[in-house]
């Protein structure tokens, strides 16, 4: 059974708060150095303290910290979802490789994608 994914962050509580607000998922647990967001399907996003954290660069650049993973979230209204993410402290990445996807950065600099539900 898949339990969740752990992401390094300079401030786990703040980053968990960002994703909790963005997704409407509750913070299921928080303690010094760790915060956990509970997804409705029973999986978790775990944010762990990382001293000396270096934000990834996207798109990748030789010699810079590369993204090791990213989240993809399906949305019904792309521009509204982008505006919501920005209002919560996210930023729009400069490079946008697809028409129906917006690459964003969370407050710690991790890239994540908002993907338009074309159905």
Q: Domain limits of the chain?
A: 1-50, 58-119
Residue pair 108/9 in contact (Cβ under 8 Å)? The answer is yes
Q: Residue 41: which pLDDT band, with cuts at 50, 70 and 90?
A: confident
pLDDT at 1 > cutoff 80: no
Q: What is the DSSP letter of 42?
A: S
pTM for this entry: 0.91
pLDDT at 119: 63
Mean of all residue pLDDT scores within the chain: 95
Peptide bond before residue 58 is cis, with ω within 30 degrees of 0: no
- Stretch 5-23: mean pLDDT: 97
* 75: phi then psi, degrees, rounded to nearest 5: -130, 155
- Stretch 58-76: mean pLDDT: 93
Residue pair 16/26 in contact (Cβ under 8 Å)? The answer is no
Confirm whether 1-50 and 58-119 share one CATH topology.
no
What whole-number distance in Å separates Cα of residue 72 and Cα of residue 113?
5
Give percent above pLDDT 70 in the chain: 99
Q: Residue 72: which pLDDT band, with cuts at 50, 70 and 90?
A: very high
What's the CATH fold of domain 58-119?
2,3-Dihydroxybiphenyl 1,2-Dioxygenase; domain 1 (3.10.180)
What's the CATH fold of domain 1-50?
3.30.720
- Stretch 47-56: mean pLDDT: 95
Using alpha carbons only, give the angle 49, 8, 13 rounded to the nearest 5 degrees.
50
Which has the closest alpha carbon to 110: 65, 74, 78, 79?
65
- Stretch 72-97: mean pLDDT: 97
């Amino acid at each position: 059974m898949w339990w969740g994914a752990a992401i390094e962050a300079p401030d786990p509580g703040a980053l968990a708060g960002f994703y909790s607000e963005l997704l409407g998922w509750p913070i299921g647990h928080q303690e010094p150095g760790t915060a956990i967001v509970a997804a409705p399907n029973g999986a978790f996003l775990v944010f762990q303290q990382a001293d000396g954290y270096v934000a990834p660069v996207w798109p990748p650049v030789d010699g810079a910290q590369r993204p090791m993973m990213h989240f993809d979230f399906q949305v019904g209204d792309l521009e509204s979802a982008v505006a919501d993410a920005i209002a919560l402290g996210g930023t729009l990445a400069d490079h946008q490789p697809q028409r129906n996807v917006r690459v964003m950065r969370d407050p710690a600099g991790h890239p994540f994608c908002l993907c338009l539900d074309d159905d």
